[in-house]
Amino acid sequence: MNKILFLLSFSLFLISNTAISQVNQTENNFDLEQLKKRLTEEINKVLKETGIPSISLSLIKDDAIIWSEAFGYANVKKKLPATSSTIYSTGSNFKFVTATAIMQLAETGKLDIDNPINNYLGESAINDLSSEGTPVTFRHLLSHHSGLKGPIEIIPIWERKIPKTLEDIASEISAEEPPGMNFKYCNHCYALAGLTIEKISGQTFQEYIVKHILEPLQIDSKGPVIPTPVMVEELALPYSLENNKPVPEYQSRFDVFPAGDIYLTAREMANFYIAQLNQGSFKGQSILNSKSVSMMQEAQFGSSYGLGTRVIKKDDVKYLQHTGGVPGFSTFFKVEPASKIGVYIASNASGVQSILGEIANLSLKLINVKTK
């Protein structure tokens, strides 16, 4: 697999340079049709060489999705093609959305992100270091600087075992070190964020997300956490790769679902990133104010992670990006706030985030050709 990844990366590098050169030859004008052609050729090549069942992507420029397409199969055995309506697990890319819900509650004065989370958890208060004067705050949670340790459980659906509740998870979390010191990726921290959303709003996590985030983003999904029967018909099946061939995976559930056990299409996730690129607004509907958006997009505690997203600077350009992965699914997003361009990519194969990242980088290069 390492050899294939190397060859694929080199191939993408060559194709990227060729594609940019060809677009530049059209008097430096952005050429959407050329972009579609080059990405279609490259993605089909990737599918053939790696055995990835399907890839679905949506490209963003300014305040709109400029192209959304799917390639390959949602169901390999039945040769059922993936489409722009195919639903994938978002994996950890949904952390950005969960963080947005926390920021919404902060904007309405229902919480302060620099207050201890135990102020809001009631009888579900966690065992942190509050007694020693270093309580965990929401800023710590969302930036992975909480110093907490806790359980994570993945359960294959057909085992018929019920995952732990968010309350159960909170009861088993404890402090490993004082908050604010070190970056340590923390899925169970986002379970705490989800539990806080439920306690403050009086709604389930799914109800809150649908009403306050998805609906304003013109996303019709009513079952991002618990897919509806209609959604199940559109779900991509999960696969792993063995010797460049897809092998069916168990469908699984995570107890830490606010951290990323969520089901949406690539187009639906792209609408969320459009809002992040436009000061919290999507087609006239605001889900956050510009101050909150700016805070989320700034690295916290000297790390390279903001509130729900990685924040990366390269050649003085800031990018937001993240990967997602659960058994049988991989996702990747990358946006450039200054140029208001971005891409979200989903696949029904485990462990292919680096490949999706190469496609994302090529996509942004092709979109970001400056118009005279």
pLDDT in tens, 54-81: 999 999 999 999 999 999 999 999 999 9
Q: Residue range 226-251: average pLDDT?
A: 97
Q: In the predicted model, what is the mean pLDDT of the chain?
A: 92
Q: What is the mean pLDDT of residues 11-27?
A: 41
How confident is the model over 82-92, as a mean pLDDT?
Answer: 98
Over the stretch 126-143, which tens digit does the pLDDT of each residue have?
Answer: 999 999 999 999 999 999
In this predicted structure, the answer to whether residue 205 has a pLDDT above a threshold of 60 is: yes
Question: What residues contact 84, with CB distance under 8 A and at least 6 apart?
Answer: 56, 58, 68, 69, 70, 265, 266, 267
What is the structure's pLDDT at 29?
A: 60
Percent of the chain with pLDDT over 70: 91
**How big is the chain, counted in residues?**
372
Strands 88-89 and 329-336: unpaired
Partner residues linked to 127 by β-bridges = 174
Q: Looking at residue 326, what is its pLDDT?
A: 97
Whole-number pLDDT of residue 25: 35
pLDDT beyond 50 at 18: no
pLDDT at 115: 98
Mean pLDDT of 313-334: 97
Is the pLDDT confidence value at 371 over 50? no
The three-class DSSP label of residue 3 is: helix
> CA–CA separation, 362 vs 20, rounded Å?
9
- The label of the residue with tokens 């963080």 reads 99
Average pLDDT score over residue span 218-243:
97
d(CA 123, CA 117): 12
- Which pLDDT score is estimated for 143? 98
Predicted pLDDT at 276: 98
How confident is the model at residue 368, as a pLDDT? 85
Coil vs helix vs strand at 104: helix
By C-alpha distance, which of 136, 103, 132, 140 is closest to 301?
A: 140
pLDDT of residue 30: 73
Question: What pLDDT, on a 0 to 100 scale, did the predictor assign at position 124?
Answer: 97
Report the candidate in 91, 95, 261, 230 with the shortest Cα–Cα distance to residue 164.
Answer: 261
Residue 370: pLDDT band (50, 70, 90) is: low
